[in-house]
Structure 1
Amino acid sequence: MRRPVRNRLPWWVTVPASLVALLVLVVLAGHMRLLPGLKNPFGAETEDRTGPALLKSIQDMSRYEAVSGTFQVVVDLDKDAKFLPDAVRGSRTLFVGTGNVAAYVDLGGLDKDAVTVTDDREGARLRLPHARLEKPALDVERSYAVTKERGLLDRLGDVFSDNPNDEHEVHKLAVQHIGDAAKESDLVARAEKNTERMLENLLRSLGFERIAVTFAEQGGRD
C-alpha cells in the first residue's frame, strides 16, 4: 500500500519561522525572568547625550535677598469647542503648581546721598529703594497634573503631535497666579523689615548707636 505524500513547506519558509519563534521565546523568557541573566534584546535603553553646559554670562549680585515665599495654586484649565461635546473635542486639566518667589532690596544703585553719618560718627541714616519681587520660579519636582481629560479628536491629534503632553500653558498660568499671589502678600514689607534689621545689626557691630533706615520711592517695583 502506497503511503500518502505529506506536503512539506520549503526550507526558506520553515527556517525563518523557526528563528522568529525562537526569538519570541527568548524575549518572553527575559520578560518573565525565567532567565535572570538574560536581558531583553529589544528593551529600551536611555542614554544621556547632552553636551557640556556653556557659561553664557556672569552678573555680579548687589542685592540682599531678604525673604522668600512658597505658594501653591490649583490651575483648572478648561477648553471647549463650540457645537461639539467634550467627549469629541475639548480638554480639561487640573494642575497643582508650587513655586517660590523671593523679595530683595537692590543695594547696587545707591548714590552718595543714600548714606549719611553724623559728625560724632555715632549715628547713621540710610535711604534705600523699596524691596522688589523676583520672578516666580515654578518647582517642577513639586508640581503635577491631577487629571487630564481630552476629547477623541484631541487624543487623535496627540498621535501626530511632536509634544502631545505639552503642559506649557498650565505652567504659564501657574506662574502667573503665583506671581499675583506674591504681590498680594506681605513679602515686600517683610523684605524691607528684614533688610532694616540686618543693616542695624551690621552698623551696631561697627560702633554706630543711632541708626535710621528708610525706604524711598525710587526704581519702582517688579
Structure 2
Amino acid sequence: MTTPIRRIPRGVPGWVKAVTAVVLVLAVLFAGLRLSVLPGLKDLFGTETHDRSGPALLQSIQDISRYDAASGTFQVVVDLEKDTRYVPDAIRGTRTLYVGAGTVDAYVDLGKVGEDDVRVDEDRTSATLRLPHAALGKPALDPDRSYAVSKQRGLLDRLGDLFSGNPNGEQAVQQAAVRHIGDAAKESGLTARAERNTTEMLEGLLRSLGFQEVHVSYGG
C-alpha cells in the first residue's frame, strides 16, 4: 500500500520547500533502487546473532515481607504516531500499532504491621489485625505475548534504522503500553480483591491455630 504524501502547508519558508523537494526525489530514487537492488542486498548483508554474555552477578538480596494477594492480566493496543513539522510522513515520521500484554500484582505489605496493629485477647481465642491498604506493583510487560501489528516509517527514519544500533526499536511503544496497563490496573478493583484474599488467608491461618474470632481491617 502506498503511503499518502501530505501537501506542504502554505506559508512554509522557501528553503523548506526546496529541501523537501530534494528529499522527495531521493525517496523516489530509493524506492526504485529497492525494487531492483535490495532483494539481493538482504542476503549480502545478512546478520547472525551470537550470545557471548558472561554469567549473571548477584548484586543484592532483599527480604520480601509483602503478600502478593492478586494478579491481573491486561492487554492494550497502542497506536503511537510521531510527526515532524512541515515534513511529509513519507519523508520523516513514524506510526506504530502495538499490542502490549502484561500483568500487575496487588499486594499487602505485612512488614508495615506494628505491635499496636495486632491485638489478641487473654484467652487467645480472638484476634484483631489492622493492615495497610493493598498496593499495586509495577506492570510487567510479557514479551512473548506483545508484538507490533504494523509499522509505518518515513524514508529518513528507515535510513536511520539502517545505520543505528537499535533498528526498529520499540522502546517508546513498550513504555506507552506499560503506562496504559498501569492505568487500567488502577481502575480494575485489583487492590480490593487483594484485600479480600488477604483477609481470607489470615482468617484461615489463625483459625487453624485455634482462634475462634478473627477481625481484619485496613487503613493507613
Normalising by structure 1, report the TM-score. 0.76
In the alignment, which of 160, 181, 186 is matched to residue 183 of structure 1?
A: 186
Of the candidates 96, 100, 117, which is equivalent to residue 97 of structure 1? 100
Is the radius of gyration larger for structure 1 or structure 2?
Answer: 1
2:195 aligned residue (192, 201, 217): 192
Which shows bigger deviation, 143-152 or 111-120?
Answer: 111-120
Structure having the larger proportion of residues in helix:
2
The DSSP-based 3-state class of the residue aligned with 1:116 is strand
Cα deviation for residue 110 of structure 1 reads 1.4
Change (3 A) 1:165 1:65: same
1:64 is aligned, of 63, 67, 90, to: 67
How far apart in 1 are the matches of 2:101 and 2:119?
Answer: 42
Distance 1:53 1:191, change over 3 A: same
Q: For 1:5-64, what per-residue CA distance to the aligned partner results, in whole angstroms no more than 9, with x for missing partners?
A: xxxxxxxxxxxxxxxxxxxxxxxxxxxxxxxxxxxxx98654321111100110111111
**Residues 1:45 and 1:178: Cα distance change in structure 2 (over 3 Å):** closer
> What is the CA distance between 1:185 and its match in structure 2?
0.8
Q: 2:219 aligns with which of 210, 216, 220?
A: 216
Cα-Cα RMSD: 1.5
- Which residue does 2:19 correspond to in 1? none
Structure 2 gap ranges (5+): 1-44
1:111 maps to a residue whose letter is: G
Q: Identify the match of residue 51 of structure 2 among 37, 41, 48.
A: 48
Q: Partners of 1:44 and 1:170 in 2: how far apart?
A: 25
Runs of 4+ with >3 A deviation = 42-47
Change (3 A) 1:204 1:59: same
CA displacement at 1:150 relative to structure 2: 0.4
Unaligned runs of 5+ in 1: 1-41, 218-222
CA distance in 2, matches of 1:64, 1:44: 46
Offset of residue 120 of structure 1: 2.0
Q: Distance in 2 between matches of 1:64 and 1:175?
A: 23
What's the CA shift for 1:167?
0.8
Match of 1:207 in 2: 210
1:116 has 2:97 as partner: no
> What SS class does the counterpart of residue 112 from structure 2 fall into?
coil
Matched, 1:162 2:165: yes
Name 1:153's counterpart in structure 2.
Answer: 156
Instruction: Give the 3 Å change call, closer, same or farther, for CA 167–198 of structure 1 in structure 2.
Output: same
TM-score (norm. length: structure 2):
0.77
Task: Rate the CA distance shift 1:163–1:99 in 2: closer, same or farther, 3 A.
Answer: same
Q: 1:166, 1:45 → 2: CA distance?
A: 18
Looking at structure 2, the residues matched to 176 and 109 of structure 1 have their Cα atoms a distance apart, in angstroms, of: 27
Cα shift at 1:189: 0.1
Percent identical among aligned pairs is 67
Partner of 1:4: none
| Count of matched residue pairs | 176
